[in-house]
Amino acid sequence: MNRRGPRWPRTLRSRLTAALVLLLAVACLAVGVATVVALEGFLKDRLDRQLHDAGGRFAAGLERSTRPGGDGRPDTRGQAEGTLGARLLNGRTTAAAVVSRDGQREPVLTEGDRRALAEVPVDGRPHDLRIRGLGRYRVLAMPGQDGDVLITGLPLHEIEETVHHLEAIEVLVFGAALVITGLVAAFWVRLSLRPLREVVDTATRVAELPLAGGEVAMPAPIPDTDPRTEVGRVGVALNRMLGHVGDALARRQASEQRLRHFAADASHELRTPVASVRGHAELALRHPGPMPSQVRHSLERIQAESQRMSALVDDLLLLARLDAGRPLVHETVDLTRLVLDATSDARAAGPEHHWVLDVPDEPVTVTGDEHRLQQVIANLLTNARVHTPPGTEVTVRLGADATHVELGVSDDGPGVPIAARAHIFGRFTRADPGRSRATGSTGLGLAIVKAVVGAHGGTVALTDRRGCTEFLVRLPR
């Protein structure tokens, strides 16, 4: 069972504000408790002095009134209203009275009240006592003349009312102080942490930048960085780090530009000599006269390798153009027809595989470059044919919804090695280098797929589960 605890503040601003308010609350609580305790002690001391000054005269009057020949009425002159007097003999209350406005009255004492009166120590010191119907009293017990105990008490309700009144005032004052302090502290902390917020905003913008490739526009440095403060030192360090990152990205971008230009220029310049070598090899193989077998084998190898080099040069030139951001042709492309033609070509090139088509009845169209999209489909089918053993079932699936078109090429072959999955769409990547070179692969097929799909605003992903490897292409409608 998941039990959620209290939700504490998470942000630094909230924690600082909460800490300030909490410290003030603790200080207010300490001041309030100390004030209440001091006031209550002062009032009780004054009440104790009144008890000692009274000297038990009211209780002594109860003692005389209970003697034979007494009039039964104690003297209440000079006694404060509410003064309690009681006489105890052998632990039993024989007389009790309370001073009222009209003189004195006999209180109604319960059995518990009588036991409480009997338990008051006769030590000459005042004690607190609660009497039902009368409230809390401060009482003083003294020995009488006939072996009895005389108790005199003064009510504590005035002290309690004064203390409660002070507590109410403290709650109102301290509560208002906490609210005002919380608002002021929140504003002050927010103002003080504004440079830190600028640091966070700048770091967030940097984290959202596509730093993997291409030209990157670094955000402006953080202004108003005071190195005398902690936040200022963080800002200075971040500005220095942004400068280093910006310089490194600029050098990397320049290096990539030089590499792209070199690849484009080299690919362009190599097309002519490679085509010349290929043409001379084909011309030599067409010679009608007798030719030694070793010479014919060498010419056939020259022709095959020149074809492979020609394909490599074309792929490199295409990637260089895509990297340079060359615009593609934008026209309506019937993907259904491209899938049917590419699958037919793959079935002819790999009859030992089982080719399965899953396309909708209605044509699926997108806006893009037909030649490049055809190359995407052909590369995916070639990849499935080359890297799976004979008898593998390859399924080509095409579907569409209101916003996207999905093209999936899946097979039940051995799958992609785990070590190669992370960089499967990289350039010159081969899951099986030895087999790939034997079959003439350049290692650029999937890289071209990713570059062309990305140029069309789409995505390509690999899903490799046991018994099913699928490359899924998503293109916007």
Q: Fill in the DSSP letter of residue 464.
A: E
Cα separation, 86 vs 63, whole angstroms: 9
pLDDT at residue 172 tops 90: yes
CA-wise closest residue to 64 among 55, 52, 54, 73: 73
The b/e string for 371-395 (b: 16+ C-beta within 10 A; e otherwise) is ebbbbbbbbbbbbbbbbbeeebebb
Predicted local distance difference test score (pLDDT) of residue 475:
92
Among 361, 364, 447, 358, residue whose Cα is nearest residue 409: 358
Asked whether the beta carbons of 390 and 352 are under 8 A apart, the reply is yes
Segment 17-21 long-range contacts (CB within 8 Å, at least 24 positions apart): 17/182, 17/185, 17/186, 17/189, 20/181, 20/182, 20/185, 20/189, 21/178, 21/181, 21/182, 21/185
Enter the CATH code of domain 331-476. 3.30.565.10
Looking at residue 189, what is its pLDDT? Answer: 83
The pLDDT tens digits for 78-118 are: 677 888 888 888 888 888 888 877 766 778 788 888 888 88
> DSSP H helical segments within 324-369, as ranges?
335-349
- Of 88-92, 222-226, 300-304, 469-473, where does mean pLDDT reach its minimum? 222-226
Name the architecture of domain 212-326: Orthogonal Bundle (1.10)
Mean pLDDT (the chain) is 81
Q: Residue 476: which H helix or E strand, with range?
A: strand 468-476
How far lies 274's CA from each of 51, 209, 265, 267, 387, in Å? 123, 41, 14, 10, 27
Mean pLDDT of 16-35: 91
54-64: pLDDT as tens digits: 766 777 777 66
Q: Where are the domains of the chain?
A: 14-162, 212-326, 331-476
